[in-house]
Structure 1
């Protein structure tokens, strides 16, 4: 279907010509809509400034004003304008819609709208629909013990806090995937539009299937300024801006001005055209009338920054300038002139017309809000746990790798997982997404393409593989978009997995921060229902990036994750395919966590049968009896966490058995990293007695770890035997080399682990001097072999467990 097949109105109206459209609002409707907008703006200003006298029923006094003025006014009236007009669309068309405030610091607007719709009072009864409720609403905003100034989890209807700018479109598209009846209105602030993630976020429309997904309505809000500078997109000509947005695949409509009456008519007319256009695109796709990708409509909204606020303060322009960004009038407690100007500003909204004697919104204005779940502040899509359905998961045990004898057979762990994920996708055709930055096949998960393709709305060539409009896998070479898509998908009640190269997951460090903080906060909000966990699968990891080199070698995301609150963080390092299957099943069943799973993709020894793997993962760590010979009283304990460290520990144990057969060695493998922590610090932490039973209270512990060694010290610093822990891990030594040379560069290799035992077991003393020297020589020989042959030595490449 071409654009000519759309409704005549939507097809023929040029970008800027909506100005001349007929006025859709009658005089009564216009007055009511403007009054509702004034009420929202009044509530927003009240939140920033007032702690008492909420309806100005007495002259404004210093004690009515907060001692610390916090919040952001500049973007707020524009957000209120959008929300108010979208309510009209919802009422008239009964469209399910949620609202995302890209400039989330415009929190006063989102709170005001939730209050006007009644949702806030329903969920927070002490903030009632009366004068006392208004007082509580105002006082709590950015006040100790109250609520934050952003569109935070405490705000009904919000799934996008906007504390960090750049992600509103990726969240919006993620929310729209597999939500065919939903429209996501995403307001993009013009400061936010300068960020890299947002610039890429416009491309979300290339992954949105109009036949099976919902719609995203971007509203680019150009109010001209950031905190202290103009914004780029507000200062380029309209034709250049139009070309940019058209190039992104949108049909932009311009709504610009500062006269409220004219702007109300223009916005209403534009939204009528936009929603006709959305309906036409979806109807064509869902009836088979056409397969051509059409530009989706969007709105460019130009309004003054701080619209309807004070024009000047102390002789300097405020409305329409950067000075309106936060608190336009700042000294209202101590400066009589400022306080008088604030009172004039507040009274300009005519609150006596908006609220009755009891402090309730006038009944005729209350009718302008949608009803029930159609209210954007009450949409179950913005409280995704209300819609969450359990995944239909295949029995992971049926995908087990046969292990007749430990460390004698080989498998690619993530390839095995890929077969299971293939069937997860097949069983959950509208409830699960796999996302990743062009690495699904590289990470050996390509079995999923047996049942699905990659979502793709752009052109497809005959030579392309696995691209289709209805694909369940999303690949875009932007970790920001992958993270944002998945967050939006999860927060609206679905499930998913993000696979990524380990080194480059750092790109979303700050996005992970925001999501972890969101989860932690929602744990304390009773009306927020739990959502599916955010699951990371990190492969192509530090120890097997020997071909790509130093730039691809970084396991530090685990350290970053470990900084967050224990109640939402889980980290797993399964050593083989069967443990990976068990861990993955657990993670996809979990709620309200961030699960980080690190697993290799290269052929590697397999250690545990499926039965053993399930028991081991259930414990989170444990003694491997088959690798130990300590008879309950070890001379030394080997700890290991991660697939490559585990392999090196077992090879080291083999060497010790050969050369020091009387040495009593215990091997403890860790799958759940947080089991190492004290039980007072993490829910998964081991009790002190149990930790001592495993690692002993006084024997040397040589711990081989996947990541940076100091994290193990940090997790175990309270343990009684911590002073005897010697940790080997990645020491920021890397290059393009062989796999074994990588572990040697960081002293994690089997030979160095044997040397560590010799150095730290007091009973060995000088009698093991020859062995230590032999191990040092073996390291030199192994390195020399790589330099000559470009491969690791056969004794390393071909090693298997001999016992």
Structure 2
């Protein structure tokens, strides 16, 4: 049934109220309802905020309120133009959610004044749609990810619709362009729906947008090629735009309901998308100082910048705000009039109060299998060679089975490559809502392993998934994790800010597994050799950041169990997928992981005495080389007292003042002594360890060997040689740093150099490592 003119008039008034509140937040610190003439002192001394995108966001939000009420739909709202913060805050305030979450921001004149004063001011709220904004799961500070977050939010949420407003500047980014493919993974039998609203207002900060200059016909072909059914809403006449948007939303939700009623996926549905083309800075000043504003890039931020010093600008601001007729919108006490407040949905159906968006419904813990049941059987340390991540794959298979609607693996076409293929056993499959062929390997519309060759999509889907209360793992090659370093940074910042918001419920952690590491990408070459993503996580606050470097399969299983049970963290786990020596039985592995770092007494030879040198390691390949160095020293210099320390929780190196996992000073001395030199073999860039050790006793005694940006297509051992982290380099460093230099140290050093020369000649002749290197195993004597 077509919407009536009376209903459209109410929506228009609601839109005007939201626009009024948006402008007020950007400009005013007093006189919120303009009940007295506007004076310079009523205006903030610093004008911050973004007006240009806000009228479009307000328009969409107001119309969605009608959809929710009339159709009883469960909706969340994601603002891709993240600088439209004042618009979303305005709407959450109008619907009443904001005052419930922040009781000091009351729904009256005093509360409106407080709302205005807090925006983009010290001690207030930021200009972005951040975690401080109820109903948000999307930080728009960096553009490009709104659709990935929206799709992640609706996976396994059949009753949920995520409406994602995509700005036309944002639409130029690579991640957004790739994220249109989300509908190829959206199964209407078990998932919710995403309704994108592509908002074209023509400009970025200073230049035109690509899509803004394209014709409607070209945009239609583009979106249809992606598999969508576009509906266009175009114009600048509010009455006509209101009617067209109401019609487009009704048709879109009719289409969504038809798709979901079909309850089968014989072919990919054509999901709706709305293209909204309205002027940038719509309803704002048309011209300022003789220069056009509305509909140009000049409306992007603050259209009137000289309000406190220029009387003409001040008068224009007053005229602009009064053009929304606030006296019709708010009563004598400053409350939204009853007719308009009735437009907003009630209770949890309000988009700002939707539990999915405010930490999800209380996240149900995963039903976890006993991780010890996947343990490798006890053998002498360093004698059995196996692929550690293959054991994790078996654990993931059973997590899937126990949690069929609340766990997913996200992996860019690398599940088998990363040795996690056990997830396909027992009917598991890769999700793809496209045609399948007989040659496909475990591909089905009903699959729940999310493989797409886009790190942005995988990481963004997982963010949306965990922020709405479910659990998952993002697994990728180490070097390519840097593609999403900024996304993970934004998520970490979201968690940091959320920690101060009691009303936001805890969410499952963002778990990231990096395999195909720099040390074992000898076959792929220099481009695949980069451990820098770890530095991104190490730099984040200790309240949210965790980095684990398990040396073997049993430690990996213990760490994974902990990560999947945790909340409100970014957990980074790094271990290679290639066959590697196994070191600890499960009992020892659990104890080691619980401690974060341990002395491996069986690997050293100090007896009851203190060490002459400490060999420390963090990471699987550094552990291998350290163990081989300790073995070499025990064999050739038995009188030298060597202690071996393995670090699995990297943050245990940090001061407890900097990170909650930091070992106490007493525990730190227990591990590394107070004054003995430490030769530290590290998985990543050495600077990360030095950063963590700042403030520890005699930190200068730590001599870190790690990745030095040396690499090529070569052999596994040659990689550690090139980066001077080989067993022979560690032995040389130990002999140089030991407190008691052996009498025949010169001969031992020459032997190490000779081994390195022999290695260099051998690999160039035979194209593989020497047998004594590649077949080395640990022995106690």
TM-score band (shorter)?
Answer: over 0.9
Displacement of 1:325 after TM fit? 0.6
Does the 8 Å CA contact 2:605/2:634 hold for their aligned counterparts? no
Which position in structure 1 is the counterpart of 2:176?
Answer: 198
Give every structure 1 segment of 4 or more consecutive aligned residues whose post-TM-superposition deviation is greater than 4 Å.
none
Aligned partners of 1:327 and 1:715: how far apart in 2? 42
Give the secondary-structure state (helix, strand or coil) at the position aligned to 1:580.
helix
Which position in structure 2 is the counterpart of 1:526?
Answer: 502
Aligned partners of 2:362 and 2:73: how far apart in 1? 18
Which position in structure 1 is the counterpart of 2:158?
Answer: 180
- CA deviation digits over 1:301-343, x for unaligned, max 9? 0111111111111111111111111001111111111000000
Matched ranges for 1:39-438 at <5 A = 39-284=17-262, 286=263, 288=264, 291-438=266-413
2:766 to 785, 789, 799: 789
Aligned partners of 2:717 and 2:273: how far apart in 1? 54
Gaps of 5+ in 1: 1-21
Does residue 480 of the first structure (1) align with residue 456 of the second (2)? yes
Which position in structure 1 is the counterpart of 2:563?
Answer: 587
Displacement of 1:298 after TM fit? 0.7
Greater Cα shift, 552-561 or 613-622: 552-561
Does the 8 Å CA contact 2:267/2:434 hold for their aligned counterparts? no
1:516 to 463, 468, 492: 492
Does the 8 Å CA contact 2:65/2:344 hold for their aligned counterparts? yes
Give the secondary-structure state (helix, strand or coil) at the position aligned to 2:571.
strand
Does the 8 Å CA contact 1:403/1:409 hold for their aligned counterparts? no
Q: CA RMSD in A?
A: 1.0
Does the 8 Å CA contact 2:676/2:739 hold for their aligned counterparts? no
Which position in structure 2 is the counterpart of 1:771?
Answer: 748
Give the secondary-structure state (helix, strand or coil) at the position aligned to 1:384.
coil
Does the 8 Å CA contact 1:692/1:721 hold for their aligned counterparts? no
1:554 to 527, 530, 541: 530
Displacement of 1:722 after TM fit? 1.4
- CA deviation digits over 1:258-283, x for unaligned, max 9? 11111111111111111111100111
Displacement of 1:223 after TM fit? 0.7
Displacement of 1:520 after TM fit? 0.3
Greater Cα shift, 26-35 or 407-416: 26-35
Does the 8 Å CA contact 1:384/1:494 hold for their aligned counterparts? no
Does the 8 Å CA contact 1:519/1:592 hold for their aligned counterparts? yes
Which position in structure 2 is the counterpart of 1:18?
Answer: none
Which position in structure 2 is the counterpart of 1:11?
Answer: none
Aligned partners of 1:765 and 1:609: how far apart in 2? 34
Which position in structure 2 is the counterpart of 1:499?
Answer: 475
Greater Cα shift, 144-153 or 681-690: 681-690
Normalising by structure 2, what TM-score? Answer: 0.99
Does the 8 Å CA contact 1:166/1:197 hold for their aligned counterparts? yes
Does the 8 Å CA contact 1:381/1:387 hold for their aligned counterparts? no
- CA deviation digits over 1:517-548, x for unaligned, max 9? 00000001110111111111000001100000
Which position in structure 2 is the counterpart of 1:16?
Answer: none
1:759 to 727, 736, 754: 736
1:738 to 705, 712, 715: 715
Which position in structure 2 is the counterpart of 1:633?
Answer: 610
Does the 8 Å CA contact 2:200/2:276 hold for their aligned counterparts? yes
Does the 8 Å CA contact 2:640/2:740 hold for their aligned counterparts? no
Aligned partners of 1:460 and 1:319: how far apart in 2? 49
Aligned partners of 1:588 and 1:763: how far apart in 2? 46
Give the secondary-structure state (helix, strand or coil) at the position aligned to 2:210.
coil
Which position in structure 2 is the counterpart of 1:619?
Answer: 595
Aligned partners of 1:414 and 1:300: how far apart in 2? 45
Aligned partners of 1:758 and 1:27: how far apart in 2? 87
Aligned partners of 1:104 and 1:183: how far apart in 2? 20
Give the secondary-structure state (helix, strand or coil) at the position aligned to 1:271.
helix
Does the 8 Å CA contact 1:699/1:721 hold for their aligned counterparts? no
Does residue 568 of the first structure (1) align with residue 544 of the second (2)? yes
1:656 to 625, 633, 643: 633
Give the secondary-structure state (helix, strand or coil) at the position aligned to 2:744.
helix
Aligned partners of 1:474 and 1:642: how far apart in 2? 28
Displacement of 1:410 after TM fit? 1.4
Aligned partners of 2:454 and 2:405: how far apart in 1? 23
Aligned partners of 1:472 and 1:217: how far apart in 2? 22
Aligned partners of 1:136 and 1:236: how far apart in 2? 42
Displacement of 1:766 after TM fit? 4.9
Aligned partners of 2:44 and 2:399: how far apart in 1? 53
- CA deviation digits over 1:493-533, x for unaligned, max 9? 11110000001100011111110100000001110111111
Does the 8 Å CA contact 2:362/2:505 hold for their aligned counterparts? no
Aligned partners of 1:747 and 1:271: how far apart in 2? 62
Which position in structure 1 is the counterpart of 2:701?
Answer: 724
Give the secondary-structure state (helix, strand or coil) at the position aligned to 1:360.
coil
Does the 8 Å CA contact 2:26/2:48 hold for their aligned counterparts? yes
- CA deviation digits over 1:31-52, x for unaligned, max 9? 2111111101100000000011
Aligned partners of 1:660 and 1:275: how far apart in 2? 77
| Matched length | 778
Greater Cα shift, 480-489 or 576-585: 480-489
Give the secondary-structure state (helix, strand or coil) at the position aligned to 1:105.
coil
- CA deviation digits over 1:598-630, x for unaligned, max 9? 011111111000000000000000101111111
Displacement of 1:554 after TM fit? 0.6
Aligned partners of 1:762 and 1:445: how far apart in 2? 45
Which position in structure 2 is the counterpart of 1:7?
Answer: none
Does residue 700 of the first structure (1) align with residue 677 of the second (2)? yes
Give the secondary-structure state (helix, strand or coil) at the position aligned to 1:386.
coil
Aligned partners of 2:626 and 2:557: how far apart in 1? 22
- CA deviation digits over 1:355-375, x for unaligned, max 9? 111111001111100011110
Which position in structure 2 is the counterpart of 1:577?
Answer: 553
Normalising by structure 1, what TM-score? Answer: 0.96
Aligned partners of 1:768 and 1:34: how far apart in 2? 86
Aligned partners of 1:558 and 1:745: how far apart in 2? 21
Greater Cα shift, 556-565 or 515-524: 556-565
Aligned partners of 1:797 and 1:403: how far apart in 2? 22
Which position in structure 1 is the counterpart of 2:642?
Answer: 665
Greater Cα shift, 781-790 or 352-361: 781-790
Aligned partners of 2:743 and 2:588: how far apart in 1? 39
Aligned partners of 1:681 and 1:463: how far apart in 2? 53
